């Protein structure tokens, strides 16, 4: 937290990478690693989406932490006996401490853990999705899309950076502000960027090019949580997402695309934000709404053209143990 009350996210992550050539000491190996996410977390949501789109479910297992945590980190309270069935740990903190017993920073998801040693390899979420898309290519499904095509990388990076500062992190800067000026500055930046995105998406189906890219993967997890959490809980309340025609249709289009909506659990998301952030919501009461069934209504974005997966295909069915509750 800055002296002026502005929320400052700690962006210092464990940056070792899992690569095809193992140059950081962590080679890509099927079955060796476990991706740990929480359904509530938008940063973790990105990794879950890319893992689905790439078809890596059989080579990179996934653990799901529960929606509530304390100062000791995310816990596996959704699993039998409160332990991750593969890692055998109660809290993600244990994997970080096996890597560094004096680990000084936040215990964050997503994290990829080396199963044999129990050590976290990385929690560098921006790099993680890029590496799942590129370094794991030899193990991806047939028809996996290219989310980061060479010819579009500069534009994807530019859009993603703007979205991160003003939207992905912008909602947190609104919600965690500790002064009126800091809140109002973040609020203005958020809505200026959302208006920019609304205009951009009026005439194109996806953020960059005519297919789903890394830019869409980075924006969408914030949009899907907007009305349920950020609008009220984080005071981002100029409008609801459902009141912005292009953004709302775009968000529904992706929700109904395999690999996106099938990673979302609205109840866990609300339980986390309203239950953990007691400095914002002292009672811990979790709101009953909004009704999520609007996410299944027709979006009409097909009229703008585009090919969701480019030259690739849609991912297959969600594995039995990873299904989220149906809406309704």
Return d(Cα 39, Cα 271) in angstroms, integer: 11
CA 308 from chain centre, in angstroms, equals 19
Residue 65: give the domain boundaries: 33-139
The dihedral over CA atoms of 213, 219, 222, 223, expressed in degrees to the nearest 10, equals -90
Q: Which is nearest to 177 in space by CA: 188, 162, 163, 193? A: 188
Residue 41 is among the residues annotated as catalytic for this protein: yes
295 annotated among ligand-binding-site residues: no
Return d(Cα 99, Cα 124) in angstroms, integer: 15
Residue 250 is among the residues annotated as catalytic for this protein: no
Last residue of a domain, one of 139, 160, 191: 139
Q: Is 143 buried (19+), middle (13-18) or exposed (0-12) by CB count in 10 A?
A: middle
Q: Does residue 186 form part of some domain? A: yes
Residue 203 and residue 122 in one domain: no
Q: Does residue 59 form part of some domain? A: yes
Q: Is 180 buried (19+), middle (13-18) or exposed (0-12) by CB count in 10 A?
A: exposed
Residue 172 and residue 135 in one domain: no
Residue 74 and residue 180 in one domain: no
Residue 125 and residue 158 in one domain: no
Each residue's pLDDT tens digit in the chain (328 positions)?
Answer: 566 789 999 999 999 999 999 999 999 999 999 999 999 999 999 999 999 999 999 999 999 999 998 887 899 999 999 999 999 999 999 999 999 999 999 999 999 999 999 999 999 999 999 999 999 999 999 999 999 999 999 999 999 999 999 999 999 999 999 999 999 999 999 999 999 999 999 999 999 999 999 999 999 999 999 999 999 999 999 999 999 999 999 999 999 999 999 999 999 999 999 999 999 999 999 999 999 999 999 999 999 999 999 999 999 999 999 999 999 6
Q: Does residue 274 form part of some domain? A: yes
Residue 184 and residue 305 in one domain: yes
Q: Are 44 and 37 in contact (CB under 8 A)?
A: yes
pLDDT attached to residue 162:
98
Q: Which residues pair with 63 in a beta bridge?
A: 36
Residue 162 and residue 293 in one domain: yes
Q: Does residue 144 form part of some domain? A: no
Identified catalytic residue from 33, 41, 250, 273: 41
Three-state SS for 3-56 is CCCCCCCCCCCCCCCCECCCCCCCECCCCCEEEEEECCCHHHHHHHHHHHHHCC
Residue 117 and residue 207 in one domain: no
Identified catalytic residue from 13, 103, 148, 172: 172
pLDDT attached to residue 71:
81
Residue 102 and residue 202 in one domain: no
Q: Is 238 buried (19+), middle (13-18) or exposed (0-12) by CB count in 10 A?
A: middle
Beta-sheet strand order (sheet of 33-38)? 61-65, 33-38, 111-114, 119-122
Phi-psi region of 169 (alpha: psi -120 to 50; beta: other; left: phi over 0): alpha
Q: Does residue 87 form part of some domain? A: yes
CATH of the domain at 193: 1.20.1050.10
pLDDT attached to residue 70:
84
Q: Does residue 27 form part of some domain? A: no
Residue 186 and residue 243 in one domain: yes
Last residue of a domain, one of 139, 160, 183: 139
Q: Which position has the token pair 């866990």?
A: 268
Residue 59 and residue 156 in one domain: no
Q: How many residues does the chain have?
A: 328
Domain total of the chain = 2
CATH of the domain at 92: 3.40.30.10
Residue 47 and residue 168 in one domain: no
Residue 200 and residue 264 in one domain: yes
């Amino acid at each position: 937290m800055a002296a002026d009350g502005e929320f400052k996210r700690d962006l210092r992550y464990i940056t070792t990478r899992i690569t095809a050539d193992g140059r950081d000491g962590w080679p890509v190996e099927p079955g060796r690693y476990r991706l740990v996410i929480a359904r509530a977390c938008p940063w973790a949501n990105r990794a879950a989406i890319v893992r689905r789109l790439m078809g890596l479910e059989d080579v990179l297992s996934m653990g799901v932490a529960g929606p509530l945590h304390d100062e000791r980190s995310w816990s596996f309270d959704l699993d039998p006996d409160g332990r991750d069935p593969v890692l055998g740990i109660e809290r993600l903190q244990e994997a970080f401490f096996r890597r560094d017993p004096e680990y000084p920073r936040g215990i964050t998801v997503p994290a990829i853990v080396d199963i044999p040693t129990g050590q976290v390899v990385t929690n560098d979420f921006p790099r993680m999705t890029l590496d799942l898309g590129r370094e794991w290519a030899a193990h991806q499904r047939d028809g996996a899309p290219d989310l980061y095509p060479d010819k579009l990388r500069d534009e994807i990076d530019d859009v993603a950076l703007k979205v991160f500062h003003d939207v992905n992190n912008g909602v947190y800067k609104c919600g965690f502000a500790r002064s009126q000026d800091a809140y109002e500055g973040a609020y203005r930046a958020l809505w200026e960027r959302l208006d920019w995105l609304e205009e951009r998406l009026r005439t194109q189906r996806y953020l960059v090019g005519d297919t789903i890219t890394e830019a869409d993967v980075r924006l969408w997890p914030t949009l899907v949580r907007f009305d349920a959490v950020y609008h009220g809980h984080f005071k981002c309340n100029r409008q609801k997402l459902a009141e912005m025609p292009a953004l709302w249709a775009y968000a529904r289009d992706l929700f109904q695309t395999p690999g996106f909506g099938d990673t979302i659990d609205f109840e866990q998301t609300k339980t986390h934000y309203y239950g953990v952030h007691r400095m914002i919501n002292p009672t811990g009461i979790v709101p009953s709404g909004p009704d999520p069934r609007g996410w299944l209504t027709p979006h009409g974005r097909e009229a703008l053209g585009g090919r969701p997966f480019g030259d690739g295909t849609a991912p297959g069915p969600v594995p039995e143990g990873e299904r989220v509750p149906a809406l309704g």
